[in-house]
């Protein structure tokens, strides 16, 4: 079982004011956002932190989605679901790891006091962030969760998120992009994906595109002005908040099977969870 370390939100007496950016995305709701923080395992073992995007419904906010784009948005917590599936596998097999799971559980809603394009928020890490589009809320909530996780300098930091439509345009629903600057880690995760039938495809953290996140009113913009390389830009934004973690990887999943396949019924799918478990079981071993 998890050790429940905390559920942080604006109604909680121990609210961390440094999570302002995370809270801003969900300000209009009568149900406050929550940051779920769970831990398990031997404190002396290698540290693995999993972060899953938990946007329970995404309307797009004031930059509202069209009806066709909103229909599946109950699945925008697919990253959180995949992280919990992976955590269950790790605990069930008793891997030699100190596991931490962080889930920003939120809803991107519309209201008169919702966050707006061109708003500027101070991130937990320190840099100010300009909001470019309220429908890019996922990277906003992940950034502060990443900063919180990074403060412990984990041996492994993994983010899983239904983050961009651009990833689907590039690779379709069945093949999630994998981003990592760690050559060995990337190669091993790709091999684990092939071994488990849970395929991944490596995409570049192309440093020259980082300048596209430039803002005239803040330290960084959270989207680029154009529509090119959307998944790469999102991954580069997240990478800005990783400093002390030893090994980092980000997976931009779809989290859904649109058409029934052998062994995969139509509906929610914990993409990348099997590949990651295969890797960590080999990497860390069992108790």
Task: Name the residues annotated as catalytic.
Answer: 65, 139
SS3 252: strand
34-41 vs 3-8, strand pairing mode: antiparallel
**Helix H or strand E encompassing 190:** helix 183-196
Place of tokens 């913009």: 221
CB-based contacts of 258: which residues, under 8 Å, 6+ apart? Answer: 173, 266
- Residue 3 near residue 40, CB atoms below 8 Å: yes
Three-state DSSP state, 105: strand
Q: Quick one: which of 75, 70, 57, 52 has its CA closest to 267?
A: 75
How do 54-58 and 3-8 pair as beta strands?
A: unpaired
Question: What's the per-residue H, E or C state across 136-186?
Answer: CHHHHHHHHHHHHHHCCCCCEEEEEECCCHHHHHHHCCCCCEEECCCHHHH
Separation CA 47–CA 42 (nearest Å): 9
**Which residues make Cβ contacts (< 8 Å) with residue 274, sequence separation at least 6?**
196, 197, 198
């Amino acid at each position: 079982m998890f050790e429940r370390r905390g559920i942080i939100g604006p109604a909680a007496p121990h609210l961390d004011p440094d999570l302002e950016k995370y809270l801003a995305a969900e300000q209009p709701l009568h149900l406050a956002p929550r940051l779920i923080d769970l831990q398990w395992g031997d404190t002396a073992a290698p540290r693995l932190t999993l972060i899953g995007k938990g946007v329970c419904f995404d309307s797009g906010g004031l930059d509202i989605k069209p009806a066709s784009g909103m229909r599946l948005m109950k699945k925008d917590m697919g990253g959180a679901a995949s992280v919990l599936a992976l955590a269950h596998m790790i605990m069930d097999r008793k891997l030699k790891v100190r596991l931490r799971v962080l889930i920003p559980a939120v809803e991107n809603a519309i209201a008169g006091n919702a966050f707006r394009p061109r708003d500027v928020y101070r991130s937990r890490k320190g840099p100010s962030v300009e909001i470019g589009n309220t429908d890019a809320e996922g990277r906003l909530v992940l950034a502060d969760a990443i900063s919180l996780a990074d403060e412990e300098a984990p041996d492994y930091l993994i983010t899983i998120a239904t983050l961009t439509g651009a990833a689907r345009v590039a690779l379709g629903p069945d093949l999630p992009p994998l981003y990592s600057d760690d050559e060995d880690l990337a190669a091993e995760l790709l091999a684990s994906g092939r071994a488990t039938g849970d395929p991944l495809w490596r995409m570049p953290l192309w440093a020259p595109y980082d300048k596209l996140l430039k803002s005239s009113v803040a330290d960084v913009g959270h989207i680029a002005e154009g529509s090119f390389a959307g998944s790469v830009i999102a991954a580069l934004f997240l990478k800005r908040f990783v400093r002390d973690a030893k090994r980092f990887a980000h997976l931009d999943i779809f989290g859904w099977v649109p058409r029934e396949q052998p062994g995969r019924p139509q509906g929610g799918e914990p993409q990348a969870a099997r590949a990651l478990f295969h890797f960590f079981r080999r990497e860390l071993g069992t108790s």
